[in-house]
Amino acid sequence: MSLDTVSLGRTGTAVSEIAFGTWRFGRENDAGAIEIDEPRAHELLDTYAAAGGQFIDTADMYGDGRAESYIGSWLADRDREAFVLASKVFWPTREDPNGRGLGRKHLRDTIGRILDRLGTDYLDVLYIHRWDDDTPVEEFMRTLDGFVRDGKVNYLGASTFEPNAWKVTLANELADRRGYEPFTIAQPRYNAVNREIEGNYLEMCDHYDIGVVPWSPLAGGFLTGKYSRDAEPPAGSRGATDERFATSYLTEANFDALDAVESVASEVDATPAQVSLAWLCAHPQVTAPIVGARTVEQLEEDLSAAEVTLSAEQFERIAAAK
């Protein structure tokens, strides 16, 4: 298994066709225990790198900064230039009024902390983790542009939960007028059941030639095949323990889409998770989906999706199912 590389949107940087997300690194569970500690994080990063992976996604608030520190300690004995590092900023990281958002004070303080934890002097991609309605667009775009000019960041991206195409358009049009660095990468939620970015958001990305790097490519585990419309959710699963997840995902429309994924999986001798990822990899507007994993076995299964080839009919069958 060896991952190929693709162009990161319209930038001149090549990235792995599947990115590795680290949101579970250093995260405390409900019992207060660390979900993925540093040794296991390094094991997962080793697995990803052994498969040819080099596009690593994190954020300043993952594990209260521990995710970035784990990546930094892992990189200490490796060639930094061989990897493409992406992080994000917005959520609170300090207990003071300016410890969150996209205000200049918070951004300038946070970029230094991110770089220190990662043990590097620059980021390949810095995303805004969410839009900040309390900070003028002019302020945060000018500040982010300064990071690029200072060599602390190569490219800017927008990570979003709601597909607010007009907000990214507003920022990029202002950047064009002012000569600032624009957003060239987007990180929205997108998978075979969460299709809200289809339409205006993807059209906006196409217009600006923005690379799309989706998060939640397996719909929080729904697309792994562990759920059935005719059975109770497995004990301990999110469908059994999270009422919001169950209400959002365990629907007839979503099970129709899962049926299409599972039918294709049986035809190509792959798992539903692999087919769901292969569908995104084959999407003409998707740069690289971001996978996360708790175990090496899960990660190896996900990365093997790069070896799954879907026919045009199979791709369209899944696309039309939702």
User: What is the number of other CB atoms lying within 10 angstroms of the CB of residue 119?
Assistant: 15
What's the full length of the chain, in residues? 322
DSSP string, 163-190: --HHHHHHHHHHHHHHT---EEEEE-B-
Contact between 293 and 302 under an 8 Å Cβ cutoff? The reply is yes
Which H or E element spans position 48? Answer: helix 38-50
Give the Å distances, CA to CA, from 93 to 99, 116, 132, 248: 6, 14, 15, 29
For helices 252-268 and 312-320, the axis angle rounded to 10 degrees is: 170
SS3 call for 151: coil
* Strand order from edge to edge, sheet including 123-128: 211-212, 183-187, 153-159, 123-128, 84-89, 55-57, 19-21, 290-291
Report how far residue 128's alpha carbon sits from residue 138's, in angstroms, rounded to the nearest whole number: 14
3-state DSSP percent of the chain in helix, strand and coil, to 5 = 45, 15, 40
Catalytic residue among 48, 62, 70, 190: 62
Catalytic residue check, 62: yes
Report how far residue 88's alpha carbon sits from residue 155's, in angstroms, rounded to the nearest whole number: 12
For residue 100, the 8-state DSSP code is: S
Contact between 190 and 280 under an 8 Å Cβ cutoff? The reply is yes
User: What is the number of other CB atoms lying within 10 angstroms of the CB of residue 203?
Assistant: 13
Report how far residue 207's alpha carbon sits from residue 130's, in angstroms, rounded to the nearest whole number: 21
Report how far residue 67's alpha carbon sits from residue 114's, in angstroms, rounded to the nearest whole number: 10
Q: Tell me which residues are annotated as active site.
A: 62
